[in-house]
Structure 1
């Protein structure tokens, strides 16, 4: 370096300031959010109360995390369930920025941090805790470590990369995409190849980390794997279930412009056309293509390809930055605007609607009222056990009522599933199936069909005019505790 050359300024300070500003904004308004604890969040909280190496529909990491956070905080309020999500996204943004600094330059690192923290999927994932959010920092760290393996042939980095992918898989099985992506990158990008010994070390570390969940699944009838196959749907019987669902593919593809942002998604696709950032693209595009295939053959939810947008953010920013400041500015403005609007929407959720239409965030409202109404019905009927068959109802009841003093009583709470459902349809039936009670119980059902037993008394249904249960009213029955004998069908 010549005496007159200026050393490159570090990226971290500026990137941290940008990320911290939005993280602090989200945390500051989180206590004001009126969007109630969602069904998935309540279920993750319950998993944390029943520590295990696996659960009905997901690996265990999110349950462990929420248990740790709520124990340390001494509270399981909505704020403490969601605050970790805000912080985890902040960590992910900085990890991706660090990798961008190595692969490109300081300015790209700062833009990657700003772009990631303002992604629409991150905005949503910062007010609802999800398995994607918990998985992301592990995958971002694994991607950084894998670059170390490629560049330095480091055995330590190989072990770290494998362990981090393992922790990502323990958060969500989508973490396994990175195993496929690393293999494809090695095949098609000579510069992304590693020694066989390093690949073996990484794979070994991955298997060691996820082995407790593999053992748990074997011991529990492959529960989580079965649920994953249920989501994929067509894989159980491709000949009968697989079909070309072009509408579902179009819906999924269109949703990605909202999930990732229109400018960045176009930038990512243009990177593929121009064959830029080749290694990064192999950690993004195969995931998108696989989920597009799933959507075409059956259906796919908008977040199922979320893992693509870690490496994808870096690749997209490198391309969009080349289009000029206006393009990068437009992308950041759209993302930041959506982030602010979404936070404010959660604060004003109980009144936010278009004209005379339903509440815009109605699926996140009305759960507290439903649980309170059910508890009041139980007290009025003088029963101490509530049985329900709707997962949404059960989730909030377990979160708000189970094991707590309600109207001077400790409520028993169990789940019931009709025998024709076959395999347990949810965690509540799997782990908290109703086995009978010596006295009468309050039965809350999504079905209008009466229970198949003598002595069932119909009570007034619960049919809210607004909120999550506006379109799914619940019938209520007082029934004998031995109503559902083995083999009985309602």
Structure 2
């Protein structure tokens, strides 16, 4: 009897899928405290946003700041581990939701592989070791896909309201959430079976608007600063003519092979072409929920520039399309694609524990993520030695780490007041004010701006060691308050 039971037992695919998600997530969390990387500029800035809770910030919506504030308050620590902890947790949640979505239309085994494929994507591996706005958005995006497909089965005011809520929270995580209604509308236009009831669409839109409204009001009250920043990033306005960036477009498109994984992205391209020609409506809808995003961002790269992660929302639908397609048609290719990504997924958490040691061609592999705290400590030591408690800098990357590293120090940090529109969060929210009566330590990178050069007293200079500032010259000066309050910064 025991032999019969043992030989006939088959593990439930859902259980195996969830177990794999749990294992990968725990593996990442166990190694995360051992990481030797400093917080990146954006990570330190997001932490700072959490110290200044608001409905919006200079360059992004507010949810990431709220999440980091909640996590660090509950943990009683602002250490890098706690700042980065939500990365692995949020991506695990997205993977579980993706499994749930896939089980609606695919067989249970390929549905489980969808969650594993998502969690082992190289971009998700990186996003599980850092904290970014993509990480905050993606679980809400995956939930929105699930709820939208639920509404294609029949009317449901509750599902519609939840769809609007998820899209609204996703919007508060990253403005790229706006791609969802655009893609869904295109899908509904070309695939009648994907249309949802007008009443449900109206409910979802109303709830979305209610959730997003405070951030929109904040933007209006702050001179549409986020819109201006986005326009700067897009880069169209500054270009007087049409100058196509062919190499930038090719670089962006090529980078997508490492965002999704080389074999998986190639398979997605094949699956998309095959599905458009002969796939069922759900598969074709997934094409519409992914391909337009890639097309839009690729066009942006051609017209100006685009970073590799700008199309990451496309990959929820891309995974849901590609994995079941491979499971039905080329399981060997699926195993190979998952194997390549799994190796990278397991290697990355180990690699960040060696960030100050591993080199390629003489350069640190994680150069951008090291040396930042060291520079801040050097600046803080110089200020302490000079008896100065006000520190002023211009560069966002210097200010971001100074605010984080000096969080428990008796110092006050300012940005040099901007000439014209602020170019970053610190220039907007922390410019050097009028009314200060004591001198400050001013940090100057390379040959950057130096207010009141005649009144500046140089206190020291050094070339930082390996890391983000390798090879740059840093100088620190004592400046009287009259030099700083006048502005003239960048």
TM-score w.r.t. the length of structure 1 is: 0.94
Q: More displaced, 250-259 or 345-354?
A: 345-354
1:75-86 correspondence runs (5 A): 75-86=77-88
Q: Equivalent residue for 1:19?
A: 21
Gaps of 5+ in 2: 1-7
Give distance in 1, aligned partners of 2:238 and 2:412. 40
Q: Equivalent residue for 1:306?
A: 312
Match 2:368 to one of 360, 363, 371: 363
Match 2:118 to one of 104, 109, 116: 116
Match 2:89 to one of 87, 90, 112: 87
SS at match of 1:342: helix
Give distance in 2, aligned partners of 1:253 and 1:158. 35
Deviation of the 1:324 alpha carbon: 2.5
Give distance in 2, aligned partners of 1:173 and 1:179. 12
Give CA-to-partner distance per residue, 1:205-234, whole Å, 9 cap, x none: 110110010011011111112111111110
Match 1:134 to one of 136, 142, 154: 136
Give distance in 2, aligned partners of 1:462 and 1:322. 60
Q: Equivalent residue for 1:443?
A: 442
Give CA-to-partner distance per residue, 1:397-454, whole Å, 9 cap, x none: 101114x23xxxx1111111552xx310111110000014211110002252532254
Contact 1:453–1:483 (CA under 8 A) maintained in structure 2 = no
Contact 2:46–2:64 (CA under 8 A) maintained in structure 1 = yes
Match 1:372 to one of 362, 370, 377: 377
Give distance in 1, aligned partners of 2:398 and 2:374. 11
Q: Equivalent residue for 1:193?
A: 195
Deviation of the 1:11 alpha carbon: 3.8
Q: Equivalent residue for 1:144?
A: 146
Contact 2:451–2:488 (CA under 8 A) maintained in structure 1 = no
SS at match of 1:103: coil
Q: Equivalent residue for 1:416?
A: 416
Give distance in 2, aligned partners of 1:263 and 1:154. 39
Deviation of the 1:461 alpha carbon: 2.0
SS at match of 1:451: coil
Give distance in 1, aligned partners of 2:444 and 2:418. 11
Match 1:42 to one of 44, 61, 69: 44
Q: More displaced, 68-77 or 274-283?
A: 274-283
Q: Equivalent residue for 2:300?
A: 294
Q: Equivalent residue for 1:255?
A: 255
SS at match of 1:129: coil
Tell me how many residue pairs correspond in the alignment.
Answer: 475
* Cα distance change on mapping 1:310 and 1:471 into 2, 3 Å: farther
Gaps of 5+ in 1: 1-5
Give distance in 2, aligned partners of 1:285 and 1:430. 37
SS at match of 1:310: helix
Match 2:394 to one of 383, 389, 392: 389
Give distance in 2, aligned partners of 1:148 and 1:347. 42
Give CA-to-partner distance per residue, 1:165-188, whole Å, 9 cap, x none: 111000000000001011000001
Contact 1:264–1:320 (CA under 8 A) maintained in structure 2 = no
SS at match of 2:203: helix
Give CA-to-partner distance per residue, 1:299-324, whole Å, 9 cap, x none: 00000000000111110112222333
Deviation of the 1:109 alpha carbon: 0.9
* Cα distance change on mapping 1:321 and 1:489 into 2, 3 Å: closer
